[in-house]
Structure 1
Amino acid sequence: MSRAEAIAQITPIFRRYGYEGATLSRLSQATGLGKASLYHYFPKGKEEMAAAVLEHTHQVFSEMVLKPLRTPAKPWERLEGMVQSLSQFYQQGEVSCLLAIFSAGAADDLFHPQVQRAVQDWIQALSEVLMAAGLSSEVADQNAQDAIIQIQGALVLVRLLNDRAPFERVLRGLPDRLLDPGG
């Protein structure tokens, strides 16, 4: 097993149980590796595993979700591309957002700068598209932040209600709401 394969296998554990609940026993069980083998791939232990999961997830998110925002297409088309990618990335709302999970408790103390950077990258990419569509910088930033609030809130509701409808509803109207100069 490669380090990349180990990261792929431990990511769902961090998504499901959070940093505190992702015990070495659970991580070992997910990979089929003993604790000593996990330390071979991640000498600094669980903190290094979580950092690797967070970095890998940010790379995948950037490639899947942010990349459509950086194409030369029209703003609405770029936003629609992001929406389709968000649906895939979050498996139609079935998986939790690692950024949200890592923004609480001990994980926040350890990973706040990385989580903040990832959210700022998303806000900036959205804002640039919205400014290209003619929105002022202030409105573009506000709409971008509001979109992330709606998406993250919908992901929480999916978990609480065991119903994907809130996530699907938020994504369905997102491009038009983002482009609305009135917010």
Structure 2
Amino acid sequence: MAKETYIPCLLELFRKYGYDGATLSKISKATGLGKASLYHHFPGGKDEMMKSVLDFLEQWLEQYILPCLRQQGDSLSKLKLMGDRLWELYEGGEQPCLFAILLSGTARDLFHDQVKKLFLVWIETMSQVFIEEGIDELLAREKAEDVAISIQGSLILSQAFNSSLPFQRIIKQLSI
């Protein structure tokens, strides 16, 4: 099988255990691949596995989130559609955000730049939605950051409270 086949499993593992906690033993067990096979598919080891997961998430962002924000229509419709797609990615708030997990521990130094890039692209694209509505560029950027903060914060609270309600509330507010 191609290494792309294992990306959803790796995403799940890194979400569940974090970068440091997702040991090669756990990865091997979850994927059904021996350590030699893992290194065959991912010669760079766990770093390459995480990079592949981040590349997958970048492609997902480009394919499912950014087009929602770039399409014709009013900002409310665009944000609602973006919220629908985020609902799918985070399974209604049941799944944690991998980006938050990667910004702590040893993974921070390894993956900070790629995570930052993904956030910047997302925020810039949201900013354009607000600019199209006639909002000043600086305020549009702040509003876009506020949306990202609300979504990311709600994912953290959902994990802390063991309840997806904070995330669900924020996603529903995108369409109000």
TM-score range, shorter chain: over 0.9
| SS of aligned partner of 2:122 | helix
The letter for the 1-side match of 2:43 is P
| SS of aligned partner of 2:33 | coil
TM-score of the superposition, structure 2-length normalised?
0.96
Aligned partner of 1:80 in structure 2 is: 80
The letter for the 2-side match of 1:73 is G
Aligned partner of 1:100 in structure 2 is: 100
The letter for the 2-side match of 1:92 is G
| SS of aligned partner of 2:106 | helix
RMSD: 1.1
Aligned partner of 1:180 in structure 2 is: none
Aligned partner of 1:59 in structure 2 is: 59
Indicate the structure whose relative CO is greater, using CA pairs within 8 Å and at least 6 residues apart.
Answer: 2
Deviation track 1:66-105 (CA, whole Å, cap 9, x = no partner) reads 2200111222211111111111111100111111111111
% same residue: 41
Alpha-carbon distance, 1:174 to partner: 2.3
Distance change >3 Å, CA 30–CA 46, structure 1 → 2: same
**Counterpart-to-counterpart distance in 1, 2:6 and 2:169:** 34
Aligned partner of 2:42 in structure 1 is: 42
Runs of 4+ displaced beyond 2 Å: none
Q: Any residues of structure 2 matched to 1:13-24 within 5 Å, and which?
A: 13-24=13-24
Residue segments in structure 2 that go unaligned for 5+ positions in a row: none
**Counterpart-to-counterpart distance in 2, 1:114 and 1:151:** 19
TM-score of the superposition, structure 1-length normalised?
0.92
Residue segments in structure 1 that go unaligned for 5+ positions in a row: 177-183
| SS of aligned partner of 1:73 | coil
Alpha-carbon distance, 1:64 to partner: 1.6
Aligned partner of 2:122 in structure 1 is: 122
Alpha-carbon distance, 1:160 to partner: 1.0
